[in-house]
A and B are shown apart, each in its own frame.
Chain A
Amino acid sequence: MKLTGAQALIKSLEMEGVEVMFGLPGGAILPVYDPILGSSIRHVLVRHEQGAGHMAEGYAMVTGRPGVAMVTSGPGATNIVTALSNAYMDSTPLVVITGQVPTASIGTDAFQECDITGVTMGITKHNWLVKTAQDIPETVASAFHVATTGRPGPVLVDVPKDVSFAEMDWHWPPALDLPGFRSPSAPETADVQAAAALVASATRPVIYAGGGILKARAVEELRVLAERTGIPVVTTLMARGAFPDSHPQCLGMPGMHGNYTAVTALQRSDLLIALGTRFDDRVTGRIDAFAPGAKVVHVDIDPAELNKVRRADVAIAADCKLAIGALAATLEGAPAPDLSEWWSQLRRWQEAFPLYYSQSDEPPIKPQMVVEKLRDLSPDDTILVSGVGQHQMWAAQYWRFDHPYSWVNSGGAGTMGFAVPAAIGAKMGRPDRTVWAVDGDGCFQMTAQELVTASAERVPVKVAILNNAYLGMVRQWQEMFYGERYSEVYLSPDLPDYVKWAEAMGCVGLRAESPDEVGTVIEKANAIDDRPVVVDFRTDAFEKVFPMVPAGASNDDIVVHPAQASGR
């Protein structure tokens, strides 16, 4: 069967099982937009290509399937670079198709030419510039294989316009030729036994669970391991929901804004069982002061993460699901270590230093209260999405994450503007679930236009803006570390008018100004299911996120809420 390269591209995506893709057309990708008419794939027309990338990420994070986006050459391609970088940092599988100027024009500074494979080399797992139409099936299949195999991540396929027009002989499935691509899978038995021996002799062990648990679909294996050993579990920002917050062994989130017990448990531990995690600086604080007395068992599917930041006593390059399963199996029947002293210490910390804030009956609304009310008034399996800043940390701290794949945020890159488009992608992946985005006023202004996309496509996401009139996280740093010299962080509470803006974008716009309005407004928003809703919560501009480990400081120097400081 003869197809054009463009037809072969869309057909290859169909063969890969793509149901939804996000994008925006333009000159170089025009031929590929023609066969979208008549394809089984639903194409979502975004208002800015960055939105297409984050939508694809949100979709991938809740479904586990690769997100797909397609954009034109030059500015279309550079607009999606932020999302590629974000997906690279958070190991999210993405396949991004970019149009390119015709092969003969490459290298001539042709109109809308950009060397996008060069630009994205360092922020993709791999990228391809397709040379002939005949290569399209193999390239697309390779792209999906690389994006989803081993440690997931984004890939990019650049398709020159003449390649889209050219004819080819359709064939599927293509043979893959990736002689240099491999990934570990099963752990070595000896390593698992060495890890088990360390577990058996530890007195203050902690399971340090990272986002890899979710990527590996190893939630059940983690639960078995934790319950079999009685070891406490911390879940990093990327792993919220990988182990239920309401489980008695869950200590919650560690890190720069982690809770006191989770942070201090890692610090005082004598054995870190680090699973699918990479000792990010936001978790470790000053690395040479991190968990000084701990031996380390480290499991990661990416061998480059082992011994990169912290030397492991037992380093296991393997799929988390297989490795955790094997470790749990090895420990079956073994007497569980006696951790009673450790647990009483942990419980004392939990009692002395719970998360803390104080809401009066009067305005302003405390942002933490909004998150708590959202949590309590929304369905148990609500998917929570967030932007980047203080609101993100309050969302991560105060939500109760009891289900995996229900928390979508930008961790490694910290990309402001992530929430709105990611929420739309998440809702498209899980239309049966309520999707709430907790966003900052600063973040919202970066990508809010995608709510037009949501309205047009009838994707009823809900956005809670924690409107503190500031680039709050930066304001907090200026208050604490720059002597209250506020430089370029004020935004204003009512410019723009978020309610009017929401309405202009086809959404319902609501507002809450005092604490007693919060619950009612959330209930009103939860009752709307036929269009997006935006709620402008006027929150306390001066609230700070606590606890906090100042940048570059040791986790031992964790700063708790001033109201608790005397207890330390």
Chain B
Amino acid sequence: MSTVRHHILTVHVENKAGVLARVAGLFSRRGFNIFSLAVAPTDDARFSRITIVVDVESAPLEQIVHQLDKLVNVVSISELSPADAVQRELLLATVEASPAERSQVIQLVGVFGGEVLDVGATRLTVMLAGPPEKLDDFERLLETYAVADLQRTGLVALPKIDGRSVRPLREPATA
């Protein structure tokens, strides 16, 4: 997941109807690949933050950033280098587990520091939050059981407090 092909962009956008379609439309029409995209409001109700993990092999980062910046609703863009960011992603999975297997799954979840959220007769739903690589490992081990359903949220990230500062690629416009 965190190879050099990937860059994390934190994009502040105006909280307006259609903004996500504008960002997604730009990526698709310009042939830029997205690995993941997470969007949520910020503490300022006028803006949302989109965290995009982009594939810089599909296009140079500079081109992606400049094209994004042309969207009128995009206010600012910064790049977070994986080394200088705290990154988290959330995974939910429903696993088929016979009563005999159940404890193994619960144990696995415990080793990774996840949680069991729901238990049925032959299934259980588990959760893990963590850096994407940890989720990759967890997902691989889960696959030794029958995974009925699996959902990941995509990455969100903030700069490390004592890390190198974020590279602001485009500052917000001054009024």
Is A304's CB under 8 angstroms from B14's CB? no
Complex contacts, B172 vs chain A, CB 8 Å: 179-180
A310 to B82, CA, bound (A): 29
With A178-B173, A180-B172, A180-B173 as contacts: A125 and B72 at CB distance below 8 Å: yes
Is B173's CB under 8 angstroms from A117's CB? no
Which of A117, A126, A308 touches B72 (beta carbons < 8 Å)?
A126
Which of A180, A304, A307, A308 touches B73 (beta carbons < 8 Å)?
A180
Complex contacts, B13 vs chain A, CB 8 Å: 180
Complex contacts, A178 vs chain B, CB 8 Å: 72, 173
Which of B21, B26, B60, B173 touches A307 (beta carbons < 8 Å)?
B60
Residue of A118, A178, A180, A182 with most chain B CB atoms under a 10 A cut-off: A180
B7-51 vs A, Cβ < 8 Å mask (1 yes, 0 no): 000000110011001100110010000000000000000000000
Total A-B pairs, Cβ < 8 A: 52
B36-70 vs A, Cβ < 8 Å mask (1 yes, 0 no): 00000000000000000000000010110011011
Interface size class of A (residues with CB under 8 A): 10 to 19
Q: For window 377-434 of chain A, which residues contact chain B by CB distance below 8 Å?
A: none
Is A182's CB under 8 angstroms from B173's CB? yes
> Closest approach, in angstroms, between the C-beta of A465 and any C-beta of chain B?
36
A122 interfacial by beta-carbon distance below 8 Å: yes
Is A304's CB under 8 angstroms from B72's CB? no
B74 interfacial by beta-carbon distance below 8 Å: yes
> Closest approach, in angstroms, between the C-beta of B158 and any C-beta of chain A?
21
Is B14's CB under 8 angstroms from A180's CB? yes
> Closest approach, in angstroms, between the C-beta of B167 and any C-beta of chain A?
16
Closest to B59 in A: A308
Closest to A181 in B: B72
Question: By DSSP majority rule, is chain B's interface helix, strand, loop, or mixed?
Answer: mixed
Q: For window 476-497 of chain A, which residues contact chain B by CB distance below 8 Å?
A: none
Is A179's CB under 8 angstroms from B75's CB? yes
Which of B21, B29, B71 touches A118 (beta carbons < 8 Å)?
B21
A117 to B25, CA, bound (A): 12
How many residues belonging to B are interface residues under a CB distance threshold of 8 Å?
A: 25
Is B63's CB under 8 angstroms from A304's CB? yes
Q: For window 65-85 of chain A, which residues contact chain B by CB distance below 8 Å?
A: none
Complex contacts, B26 vs chain A, CB 8 Å: 122
B4 interfacial by beta-carbon distance below 8 Å: no
Is A121's CB under 8 angstroms from B173's CB? no
Is B18's CB under 8 angstroms from A117's CB? yes
A306 to B62, CA, bound (A): 9
Complex contacts, A308 vs chain B, CB 8 Å: 63
A302 interfacial by beta-carbon distance below 8 Å: yes
> Closest approach, in angstroms, between the C-beta of A115 and any C-beta of chain B?
10
A218 interfacial by beta-carbon distance below 8 Å: no
Is B173's CB under 8 angstroms from A179's CB? yes
A146 to B73, CA, bound (A): 12
Is A303's CB under 8 angstroms from B14's CB? no
B1 interfacial by beta-carbon distance below 8 Å: no
Is A303's CB under 8 angstroms from B25's CB? no
Complex contacts, A180 vs chain B, CB 8 Å: 13-14, 71-76, 172-173
B111 interfacial by beta-carbon distance below 8 Å: no
Is A122's CB under 8 angstroms from B175's CB? no
A474 interfacial by beta-carbon distance below 8 Å: no
A129 interfacial by beta-carbon distance below 8 Å: yes
7 CB < 8 A contacts A-B: A118-B18, A122-B29, A180-B73, A181-B173, A182-B173, A303-B66, A304-B66
